[in-house]
Amino acid sequence: MSSFVAHGLFGAVIGRRIVPTGLGVIVGAAFALLPDIDYALLWLRGEDFAVRWTHSLAFVAGAAGAMLWRRDLFLIALFAGLSHLAMDTLVGVHRNPLLWPLTDRGFASPVGLLPSAGRPDPTNFYFWRNLSIEVGILVPLLFAIRRRGTVRVAAILIAGSFMLWSVSLAR
């Protein structure tokens, strides 16, 4: 699982690109975080799900459907939710049932391009280390989207170096 910071940041950027207002940012961040509602239920109420159906294409499409009344907000919700599934799949630790309810089979990247978030605890060294790596990958990539030339190349190289660090971590 990627961190809530990465999911929220990526969703906010998606929202701002489609609707360049605070509403776009809020909708993007909210729908990028929504698939982790299963973790919230686990932490708050002790409920655990055998299948993480909130990490499926069906859940993301259904949740985005709540925004069908406005095409631009629907697109933000859909792309932000899909970004969550993509980032969690790229961690390569937890298998996500992307095709649920057709199958419970989970999918994960064979190589962890992003680090696992770790338990969100202020005293957890691995949480902070992995969050730093994740931000070191994602922020330069988001920066590179808007830049050209040597600045873009430098941002991609920075992200690539953090990605190599991530790949070297034990899974």
What's the whole-model pTM score? 0.85
Q: Are 127 and 119 in contact (CB under 8 A)?
A: yes
Task: Tell me the residue range of the domain where 43 lies.
Answer: 4-168
How far apart are alpha carbons 171 and 162 in whole angstroms?
16
pLDDT at 50: 64
Indicate the DSSP class of residue 102.
T
Give the C-alpha separation, 169 to 11, whole Å: 26
pLDDT higher than threshold 90 for residue 114? no
pLDDT for the residue numbered 112: 83
Query: Structural domain tally of the chain?
Result: 1
End-to-end CA separation in angstroms for the chain: 12
Report the chain's mean pLDDT, rounded to a whole number: 89
